[in-house]
Amino acid sequence: MDTWSLEKAGYAPSDAAADGNRFLCANGYMGLRGVPEEAGSERFPAVTLAGVYDRREDRWREPVNAPHGLTVWVSLNGEPMTADGTATLRHTVGIGYRHGLWRRETDFGPLLLRSTRFASMADCHLLADRMTLEVREAGEVQIRVGISTDIWDINGPHLSGFRFRAGEALRCEAETGEKRITVAVSQAVQADFEAAEDIRTGPDGLFRVLTRSVRAGESLTLSVYAAVFTSQDGPEPGQAAEDACLRAKAGGFDACLRKHRDAWEAIWRRCEVVTEGDDEAALAMHASQYHLNCVAPRHADNMSIPARGLSGQTYKGAVFWDSEMFFFPMFVHTQPEIARSLLRYRIETLPGALKKAEEYGYRGAFYAWESQEGGREGCTDFNVVDVFTHRPVRTYFRDKQIHISADIAYAMSRYYGITGDRSLLEEGGARVILECARFCLSRANTHMDSDEADYADVIGPDEYHERVTNNAFTNRIILSCLRSALHLRDVFRDCPERYDALLRELRYEKDLELIRSLAARIRGPRRRSGVIEQFDGYFGLEDCPLDTVRGRLRDPREYWGGDHGVAGTTQIIKQADVIAMMALFPDDFGDDEVARNWDYYEPRTEHGSSLSACMYALTACRMGRPEKAWDLFMKTASIDITGGGKQWAGEIYIGGTHPASNGGAWMIAALGFAGLRMKGGVPELHPHLPRQLKRLTFPIEAGGRGWLVEVTHEGGRILPR
Q: Do 5-270 and 272-720 have matching folds?
A: no
User: What is residue 81's predicted lDDT score, i.e. its pLDDT?
Assistant: 94
Mean pLDDT over each residue of the chain, to the nearest integer = 96
Average pLDDT value for residue range 169-198: 97
User: What is residue 652's predicted lDDT score, i.e. its pLDDT?
Assistant: 65
User: What is residue 107's predicted lDDT score, i.e. its pLDDT?
Assistant: 96
Q: Over 90: is that where the pLDDT of 681 sits?
A: no
Identity of the residue numbered 366: F
In this prediction, residue 551 has a pLDDT band, given cuts at 50, 70 and 90, of: very high
In this prediction, residue 74 has a pLDDT band, given cuts at 50, 70 and 90, of: very high
User: What is residue 65's predicted lDDT score, i.e. its pLDDT?
Assistant: 98
Identity of the residue numbered 195: A
User: What is residue 677's predicted lDDT score, i.e. its pLDDT?
Assistant: 95
With 0-12 / 13-18 / 19 or more C-beta atoms within 10 angstroms meaning exposed / middle / buried, residue 501 is: exposed
Identity of the residue numbered 154: I
Strands 159-165 and 169-176: antiparallel
Please give the Cα distance from 25 to 60 (Å, whole number): 25
5, 37, 104, 395, 478 from 113: Cα distances, Å: 20, 11, 8, 49, 57
With 0-12 / 13-18 / 19 or more C-beta atoms within 10 angstroms meaning exposed / middle / buried, residue 246 is: middle
Q: Contact 464/550 with Cβ under 8 angstroms?
A: no
Q: Indicate the helix (H) or strand (E) that contains 339.
A: helix 336-348
In this prediction, residue 423 has a pLDDT band, given cuts at 50, 70 and 90, of: very high
Q: Alpha helices of 54-141 — where are they, by DSSP H?
A: none
Q: What is the DSSP letter of 524?
A: P
Q: What is the CA radius of gyration of the chain?
A: 26
Q: Over 90: is that where the pLDDT of 613 sits?
A: yes
Q: Would you tell me the crossing angle of helices 237-251 and 253-271 to the nearest 10 degrees?
A: 100
With 0-12 / 13-18 / 19 or more C-beta atoms within 10 angstroms meaning exposed / middle / buried, residue 327 is: buried
Q: Indicate the helix (H) or strand (E) that contains 349.
A: none
CATH topology of domain 5-270: Beta-galactosidase; Chain A, domain 5 (2.70.98)
> Model-level pTM?
0.96
Q: Contact 245/227 with Cβ under 8 angstroms?
A: yes
Average pLDDT value for residue range 607-624: 95
Q: What is the DSSP letter of 567?
A: T
Q: Over 80: is that where the pLDDT of 538 sits?
A: yes
In this prediction, residue 436 has a pLDDT band, given cuts at 50, 70 and 90, of: very high
**What ranges make up the beta strands (E) of 158-260?**
159-165, 169-176, 182-191, 196-202, 205-214, 219-230
Domain ranges of the chain: 5-270, 272-720
CATH number 1.10.357.10 given to 272-720 = no
Out of 463, 466, 558, 606, which one is annotated catalytic?
463
SS3 233: coil
Please give the Cα distance from 448 to 460 (Å, whole number): 26
- b/e 410-421 (16+ beta carbons within 10 angstroms → b): bbbbbbbbbbeb
Please give the Cα distance from 336 to 314 (Å, whole number): 28
User: What is residue 14's predicted lDDT score, i.e. its pLDDT?
Assistant: 87
Strands 445-446 and 453-454: antiparallel
Tens-place pLDDT, residues 655-668? 899 999 999 999 99
Percent of the chain topping pLDDT 90 = 91
User: What is residue 651's predicted lDDT score, i.e. its pLDDT?
Assistant: 60
- 10 Å Cβ neighbour count for 532? 24
Q: Of 194, 30, 212, 204, nearest to 128 (Cα)?
A: 30
User: What is residue 649's predicted lDDT score, i.e. its pLDDT?
Assistant: 64
Backbone φ and ψ of 386, nearest 5°? -70, 130
364 φψ region: left (φ > 0), alpha (ψ -120 to 50), beta (else): left
Please give the Cα distance from 414 to 340 (Å, whole number): 11
Higher pLDDT, 146 or 644: 146
Q: Indicate the helix (H) or strand (E) that contains 231.
A: none
Q: Over 90: is that where the pLDDT of 28 sits?
A: yes
Residue 463 is among the residues annotated as catalytic for this protein: yes
Tens-place pLDDT, residues 295-328? 999 999 999 999 999 999 999 999 999 999 999 9
54, 135, 149, 178 from 57: Cα distances, Å: 10, 48, 20, 9
